[in-house]
Amino acid sequence: MLITGPNGSGKTTLLELILGFLRPLKGKVFVLGYLMPKYKREVRLMTSYLPQDFMRDPNEPYTVLEVIRMGLAPYSMPFSKLTKRQIKLINWALEKVGMRGFEDRPIGKLSGGQQQRVMLARALVRKPKLLLLDEPFASVDVEYRENIARLLRDIKNEEKTTILVVSHVEEPIKRYADQIIKLKNGSLVDAQ
C-alpha cells in the first residue's frame, strides 16, 4: 500500500499511530488484530520500520553487519553468538538489497543510498508480518527506486508481508501498490 500526500498531511503521524508511538485523540487503532498502543510490544515484535532519518554520522563505528544484526536484537540475548539461522537471515537480507561484500564497512562511510539499503536490510532481516517504510526513495537514485519497488513486491508475495510505504515519490511504487491512499491535512482524500 502506498500512502502519499503533501508535507503535513499526516503520513508519518499515521505510521507513529500504527507503531504505538502516539495515541489517537479519538477512536481506536488495531494493528495485526492488537489494540494499540496497549499491545505495542507484541505488534513491534512482528513489525519492522524504516524511518526517514536513517543517515548516520561519518564517524559511526558500527559495521554493516552489526547494523543489520540489530534488526534481530529483540529475538536474541545481547552479545550472543549468531546462530546459523541468523547468519542465513543476514545473508538473505544483504543479498536482497544488493549489499553483499559490504559487511565489514562502517555504515557512516557509505553513501546515503547505501546506508538506506543497509537500513532496509535491517528491517527485512526479521521477516516481519508488517513492514513500514517512511520515504524509502529519499536518498536513492531513480534506477535503484525501481529495484526497491520490485524488491518490496517480491517480499510481499514471497513472505506474505503487509507493506505500507509513505512517500512523496509515487513512481515506481505506484505501479506495484495494491492500494494508494492520499492524505491531505490529516484526512483521507482519495483511495484507489
Task: CATH number of the domain at 16, please.
Answer: 3.40.50.300
Q: Are residues 79 and 91 in the same domain?
A: yes
Residue at grid coordinates 501498490: 177
Q: Are residues 41 and 9 in the same domain?
A: yes
Closest CA to 52 of 184, 155, 169: 169
Residue with the bigger pLDDT between 39 and 187: it is: 39
Q: How far apart are CA 190 and CA 192, in angstroms?
A: 7
Tens digit of each residue's pLDDT (9 = 90 or more) over 24-82: 999 999 999 999 999 999 999 999 999 887 677 788 889 999 999 999 988 887 778 88
Residue with the bigger pLDDT between 186 and 84: it is: 84
For the chain, how many structural domains are there in total?
A: 2
The parent domain of residue 143 ranges over 1-46+128-192
Report in angstroms the alpha-carbon separations of 55 from 58, 109, 164.
9, 11, 21
Tell me whether residue 3 is exposed, middle or buried, using C-beta atoms within 10 angstroms of its C-beta: 0 to 12, 13 to 18, 19 or more: buried
Q: Are residues 67 and 102 in the same domain?
A: yes
Q: Are residues 92 and 121 in the same domain?
A: yes
Cell, residue 19? 507503531
Q: Are residues 16 and 106 in the same domain?
A: no
User: Quick one: which H or E segment has residue 157?
Assistant: helix 142-159
Predicted pLDDT of residue 99: 95
Candidate ranges 58-62, 122-126, 143-147, 149-153; pick with highest mean pLDDT? 122-126
Q: How far apart are CA 45 and CA 63, in angstroms?
A: 24
Q: Are residues 133 and 122 in the same domain?
A: no
